Amino acid sequence: MTDLTALADRYIAMWNEKDSASRTALIAEIWSEDGSYVDPMLKGDGRDGIDEMVGRVHAKYPDHAFQRTSALDAHNDRLRFNWSLAVPNEPPMVSGIDFGVVADGRLQSITGFFEPAAQAEA
């Protein structure tokens, strides 16, 4: 998979896939075997760890769905895009930005940040 926009869209589809077998297949398609995900609340290492992590999100927020909310920005082996998590037809519960590294057409790592960014004290 070399189209980075398609890769990002499949990544969002992974977050929205409630069927465990279908989600496992998506993860195998888009993630490197030793891929990793981290954000302020979650961490998943390897395909199994990522699958388990996404399953926990579904258990906690069963009616919510992720959506990519920006165009993809990419260069070299890096990508970034904005996203939101919401119950359909309601305001987002949370939004953020994901930064990714791609290797051999698959996600090697994703680092997520939630919006708005915390303001540092001077």
Provide the number of structural domains found in the chain: 1
Beta strands in the chain (DSSP E): 31-38, 43-45, 65-68, 73-75, 78-86, 94-103, 106-114
pTM score: 0.91
Please answer whether residues 56 and 47 qualify as being in contact, where contact means their C-beta atoms are separated by less than 8 angstroms.
no
Domain assignment present for 121: no
Q: Which domain holds residue 80?
A: 4-114
CATH code (residue 55): 3.10.450.50
Residue positions counted in the chain: 122
Q: What is the pLDDT along the chain (122 residues), one digit of tens a residue?
A: 459 999 999 999 999 999 999 999 999 999 999 999 999 999 999 999 999 999 999 999 999 999 999 999 999 999 999 999 999 999 999 999 999 999 999 999 999 999 875 555 55
Dihedral pair phi/psi, residue 63, rounded to 5°: -100, 0
Contact predicate 82/70, CB 8 Å:
yes
Q: Residue 15 domain-assigned?
A: yes
In a domain, 93, yes or no: yes
